[in-house]
Amino acid sequence: MSESTTWQGMQFGIFSVSDITEDPTTGKTPSEAEKIRNAVTLAKHAEEVGLDVFAIGEHHNPPFWSSSPTTTLAYIAGQTERLILSTATTLITTNDPVKIAEDYAMLQHVAGGRMDLMLGRGNTGPVYPWFGKDIRQGLPLSIESYNLLHRLWREDVVDWEGQFRTPLQGFTATPRPLDGVAPFVWHGSIRTPEIAEQAAYYGDGFFANNIFWPAEHYQRLIQLYRQRYAHYGHGTPEQAIVGLGGQVFMAAKSQDAVNQFRPYFDNAPVYGHGPSMEDFTEMTPLTVGSPQQVIDRYAGMRETFGDYQRQLFLVDHAGLPLKTVLEQLDILGGEVVPVLRKELQKNRPAEVPDAPTHAGLVKAKYGDGPARQAVPGANRGDNLTAGSPYQDAGAVAPAGAAFGLGRKEA
């Protein structure tokens, strides 16, 4: 098994939507090359200041640059030692699940297990026809594609037939997952209860990127996920694996933070020219102020959503220059996250699971025994030797009836 640190309790990190936006205070717009280099710098600095996770989105249109997250994350993996590398969205709708299975298993090997991914449908409607898909089929496409992806990582040889891609016969995705353990999957959603249901059915994580709507909306989604997680026999509602998004901008004096961030907020491609910054900070987790204000706001998330496992912050958007973002990371790592770790660990029930890591998943599968890896062979129609030592085909359940594929009854 590869060496990988197991973080107890919660993971803290940053995510990027990879926007290329003009700095409204200087009129300068960075190039794609500059923003790509900046992302690597941010990830490395996130590790240096003690954060646990760096995540990048997936987009295929301007003004975003991150069309190939695995390429970026693999490069970062080679320059970091303990940082968990993730996606803020991997498009389960427009990417072939076979290619996802292979690309992310490869990233898992390259990163020594320090990776996971978040699946989602994205927020750009035109991406569907660009990849030959129909947006009207977005939800059933998501459900069918993940059913196949889930099997490709857990079954050595897959026979499969569905509605949205050609059938597979005797197919083996390569490379096989590191240590025979599939990458951990988060299902991201900002509005769709069926995705919360899907995450619950498979016992995966649910990530509520609650940066747009009021907390009550995400509270309902997370509550549904927790209830259905228990319904499908994965544990109690409190043992479900939950992640949250958030946005912060900080300065020693809160009014300085407000003054510095306002022009960026007002011109941001995500929410600019809409509600005022004051209204947005009241309705969403966006917190613009002092480090203590951020601590107070995010320490209170547990009261709204229950104990959770991962908190990611958006800090590099809206045209903010690299120097400013690095300063934000210094404040996060030096003043905010150490306090939040302690605050959110207080009175945390013992049955609430730690944040997922590759090391933790390997231990859950093998206990104190050695992990095992697939052995290549050419004596069958697939590329694995007969009787793979870790094959666990019986662990894969059929998809639920809500997914149009037949549900097991509790």
Q: Considering the entire predicted model, what is its pTM?
A: 0.88
The pLDDT-based confidence of 307 (bands split at 50, 70, 90) is very high
- Name the token pair of 117: 């991914």
The partner residues of 242 in beta bridges, in order of sequence, read 206
The partner residues of 11 in beta bridges, in order of sequence, read 310
Q: 245-295: per-residue pLDDT in tens?
A: 999 999 999 999 999 999 999 988 777 778 899 998 988 899 999 999 999
- The answer to whether residue 408 is domain-embedded is no
User: CB–CB of 45/63 below 8 Å?
Assistant: no
The pLDDT-based confidence of 332 (bands split at 50, 70, 90) is very high
The tally of domains found in the chain comes to 1
Overall average pLDDT of the 393-408 stretch? 35
Own/partner contacts of 225-234, CB < 8 Å, gap of 24 or more, are 225/196, 225/197, 225/199, 225/200, 226/200, 226/306, 227/200, 228/196, 228/197, 228/200, 228/201, 229/199, 229/200, 229/203, 231/200, 231/410, 232/200, 232/201, 232/203, 232/410, 233/410, 234/200, 234/203
pLDDT for position 166: 92
pLDDT for position 91: 81
> DSSP letter at 299?
H
Q: 79-122: per-residue pLDDT in tens?
A: 999 999 999 988 888 789 999 999 999 999 999 999 999 998 76
Q: What is the CATH number of the domain that holds 283?
A: 3.20.20.30
Q: 15-37: per-residue pLDDT in tens?
A: 998 889 999 999 999 999 999 99
Asked if the model's pLDDT at residue 299 lies above 70, the reply is: yes
- The answer to whether residue 410 is domain-embedded is no
Q: 199-243: per-residue pLDDT in tens?
A: 999 999 999 887 766 777 889 999 999 999 999 999 999 999 999
Overall average pLDDT of the 26-53 stretch? 96
- The answer to whether residue 5 is domain-embedded is no
Q: Which of 198-207, 325-334, 363-372, 392-401 has the lowest mean pLDDT?
A: 392-401
- The answer to whether residue 47 is domain-embedded is yes
Q: What residues make up the domain containing 396?
A: 11-403
Q: 349-367: per-residue pLDDT in tens?
A: 999 999 999 999 999 999 9
- The answer to whether residue 2 is domain-embedded is no
In whole angstroms, give the CA distance from residue 94 to residue 142: 9
pLDDT for position 376: 61
- The answer to whether residue 215 is domain-embedded is yes
- The answer to whether residue 368 is domain-embedded is yes
pLDDT for position 128: 65
- The answer to whether residue 154 is domain-embedded is yes
Q: 364-385: per-residue pLDDT in tens?
A: 999 989 888 877 654 444 444 4
In whole angstroms, give the CA distance from residue 251 to residue 260: 9
Asked if the model's pLDDT at residue 142 lies above 90, the reply is: no
